[in-house]
Structure 1
Amino acid sequence: MDEYKRLKRELMYHGVLVDFYQDTMRIPGGHEVKWDLISHKGAAAVVAVKDDGTLFMVRQYRNPLGRMTLEIPAGGLDSREEPPIACAKRELEEETGYKAGKIEHLIDIFTTVAFCDEKISIYVATDLIPSKQNLDEDEFINVESYKIEDLIQMIYDGKIQDSKTVSGLMTYYHKYCCK
């Protein structure tokens, strides 16, 4: 690591969700290079397990892909200091209309390590308690339920490609369903 040194970090753009930086780095051999960094305050996601064993999923439009996607409930931290578990609980209720009676950490992932520092903490929520869906004004979400085996098949068929969803579902499946 001593061979890599950040010489300068310049904020190129401050956005609503992300900040874009350009780093000047000294790399092995003494060369200086420019590297891009997208900085994100982080997020949390939830594998929400209903009493019948099916999982809540959310279907929503994703602008970068230009299409609807099927994902586990998730959302961004309000600040870098917010505990991810608090975000996970909030997003579960906001998106599905259910509170977690029990929630436990499943896995942490970094979404795109080559140019982004976004970390998503993924949780498993059980003993779900009906509450009220509370979507943001720009959110339009359909809540659906699926068996884990069907979701795993959708991953293999390329119908689910979102990294947090694939990571969360596969980890849940191997930790809780393949004993």
Structure 2
Amino acid sequence: MSTTPPSRITHIINLPTQLDQPVSVVAAPGVSDTHFRNAIESSLFKQWLKNIQTETGLLANGAISLKQVLIQGVDMFGERLGFLKFKADNIDKETGQKVPGIVFARGPAVAVLILLDSEGETYAVLTEQVRVPVGRLILELPAGMLDDDQGDFTGTAVREVEEETGIHLNAHDMVDLTAFLDASTGGRVFPSPGGCDEEMSLFLYRGNVSKEKIQQLQGKETGLRDHGELIKVHVVPYDKLWRATADAKALTAIALYEMAKRDGLLP
């Protein structure tokens, strides 16, 4: 006895860049109606749709068309959508071939290079925490995701530094290193654009502290423990930072900082 498979949850969208080709957004098996609605109404998905239609977006010159989006997974952070995974069927019109389109969407984030001058030496502040995706402890810059749709990158950077290190910074003391990039880049960096939409602003803070403050920070345990953040602070000499961490955020921030100094954009 044959049974009819259940119909998939589907939503049709019309993009201004391809009005003659409506796009089907479909829920994969196991994705509930509630999660599907959360996905298509999320800022993550709306921003991705906006990105692909910009002047440099993949639909910009008409060479590629978007046929379908398959919503594969949704992770909620309380009532807010945190992570979204989907597969976009993009077709190269000249060859008829699909362009790889698996997307892990997590949205914008920030990281901060904190440099502390003390008695003639400069130190960098790192955090140590478990990173399950890579299966190990990582030394990295204080960092975090934006919690809302308002785009307050500087405010998020200040908050993350205080949560992860206990250091209170003022927004006006922060220097946006990624703002030195050419305007064509959008003023942010993409750590892994082959699979993830994350765009990151990298900030610099530099200040003077006592040797006692350096000692107090070393090994300090911080983080939002009730959220599972088990963080330990590390302070390392800045001239050894590039060898002390495999964190791409830190290495990119070093490069931006040093190039900005070389070009006279920073003292």
SS of residue paired to 1:98: coil
Pairing 1:78–2:158 present = no
CA offset digits 1:56-112 (Å, max 9, x no partner): 111111111111111010011102433111111110110010122410101221111
SS of residue paired to 2:133: coil
Match of 1:48 in 2: 114
Matching residue's letter, 1:173: E
Pairing 1:171–2:260 present = no
Give 1 or 2 for the bigger CA radius of gyration. 2
Q: Following superposition of structure 1 onto structure 2, how do residues 69-108 of structure 1 map, counting pairs within 5 Å?
A: 69-101=138-170, 102-107=173-178, 108=188
User: Alpha-carbon deviation of 1:30?
Assistant: 4.8
Matching residue's letter, 1:135: L
**Separation in 2, partners of 1:161, 1:51:** 23
SS of residue paired to 1:50: strand
Match of 2:193 in 1: 113
**Separation in 1, partners of 2:263, 2:90:** 45
What TM-score results when the alignment is normalised by the length of structure 2?
0.58
Larger % of helix: which?
2
CA offset digits 1:127-176 (Å, max 9, x no partner): 4799xx5524201111111122101233xxxxx22221221123223434
Matching residue's letter, 2:84: D
**Separation in 1, partners of 2:192, 2:132:** 18
**Separation in 1, partners of 2:247, 2:66:** 31
Identify which range, 49-58 or 138-147, moves more after superposition. Answer: 49-58
| 1:177–1:90 Cα change, 3 Å | farther
Residues 59 and 70 of structure 1 are in contact (CA less than 8 Å); yes or no, is this contact kept in structure 2?
Answer: yes
SS of residue paired to 1:149: helix
**Separation in 2, partners of 1:144, 1:177:** 27
Number of residue-to-residue matches in the alignment? 173
The equivalent position to 1:162 in structure 2, one of 222, 228, 247, is 247
| 1:92–1:143 Cα change, 3 Å | same
What is the root-mean-square deviation of aligned Cα atoms in Å? 2.5
Residues 116 and 124 of structure 2 are in contact (CA less than 8 Å); yes or no, is this contact kept in structure 1?
Answer: yes
Larger % of strand: which?
1
Question: Please, which runs of 5 or more residues in structure 2 have no aligned partner?
Answer: 1-60, 77-81, 179-187, 214-221
User: Alpha-carbon deviation of 1:177?
Assistant: 7.7
What TM-score results when the alignment is normalised by the length of structure 1?
0.84
User: Alpha-carbon deviation of 1:40?
Assistant: 1.2
Residues 148 and 173 of structure 1 are in contact (CA less than 8 Å); yes or no, is this contact kept in structure 2?
Answer: no
